[in-house]
A and B are shown apart, each in its own frame.
Chain A
């Protein structure tokens, strides 16, 4: 089972994702794939907030900011995985190696699709950053185009696609489990 969730920031995507991942685990292994590599105090605070939100849910945390398929070195294929977020993962893959890696979107899309096919359940969280009037530099625009490519691929292979808007769920594909 693969679920893809996107929408605006702080709209309730993570809460839905946590619930779904836990339900899919069905008392089996439940993993949280932490993608954010903290760069400053603000990131640290954001991570603390996410950790507090997950407290008591039974998640085992796998810290993996790159090479997502390597999650299976720590977790089992029978597990249910929550990956939050695709946005941070691409940012790491594209920008953290010194030179900007313009080929990373294709690679990340393939790796995520392969990872989705390798585990019992995967819930993916991304961010909808495509409907503003900004004119961006080449790097930012490449990132935006790349993330959209990954999003479309993930939506294509997912059983369920949900847009979260102010805590409400717009189901674009499949049926959202109760």
Chain B
């Protein structure tokens, strides 16, 4: 699995297209309103799936672990949302922390980790 991370609008999608040939059709975009799908070769906005899990008191990591064979060779993208001020709202607060945990775990599972900064990739792993 190849993990691509970065802040909002830093060029993750463009990098996935350039580096791994990922198209829009290849990409499942997570939503805070539905269970993640592992059917496509690229999963984008994992942070939104984490929010879905927080709202529904589920563990995103457990769901990923149970479906390991389905995303083992996927490209996974996640927005970094864990800097900035601690949100007042409880759900947002848990979301921010849980995204940090999930991303740290995904990073340990990944074959490569690349972080985008203003469109420039930096290989972290």
Q: Does B11 contact A (CB under 8 A)?
A: yes
Stretch of B35-43, B58-66, B81-89, B106-114 with 4 or more beta carbons under 8 angstroms from chain A: B81-89
Among B83, B92, B95, B119, the residue within 8 A (CB) of A131 is: B83
Among B8, B92, B95, B118, the residue within 8 A (CB) of A161 is: B118
Chain B nearest CB: distance from A135 CB in Å? 7
The distance in angstroms between the C-alpha atoms of A135 and B48, with both chains bound, is 12
Count A-B pairs with CB separation below 8 Å: 65
The distance in angstroms between the C-alpha atoms of A20 and B41, with both chains bound, is 44
Chain B nearest CB: distance from A4 CB in Å? 7
From A128, A131, A144, A156, residue with most partner B Cβ within 10 Å:
A131
Q: Which of A150-177 contact B (CB under 8 A)?
A: 151-152, 154-156, 161, 163, 172-173
A-binding residues in B (CB < 8 A)? 6-11, 80-85, 87, 92, 95-96, 99, 117-120, 122
With A6-B117, A133-B82, A134-B85 known, 11 other A-B pairs at CB within 8 A are: A130-B9, A130-B10, A132-B85, A133-B84, A144-B9, A148-B7, A154-B118, A155-B117, A163-B117, A172-B122, A173-B120
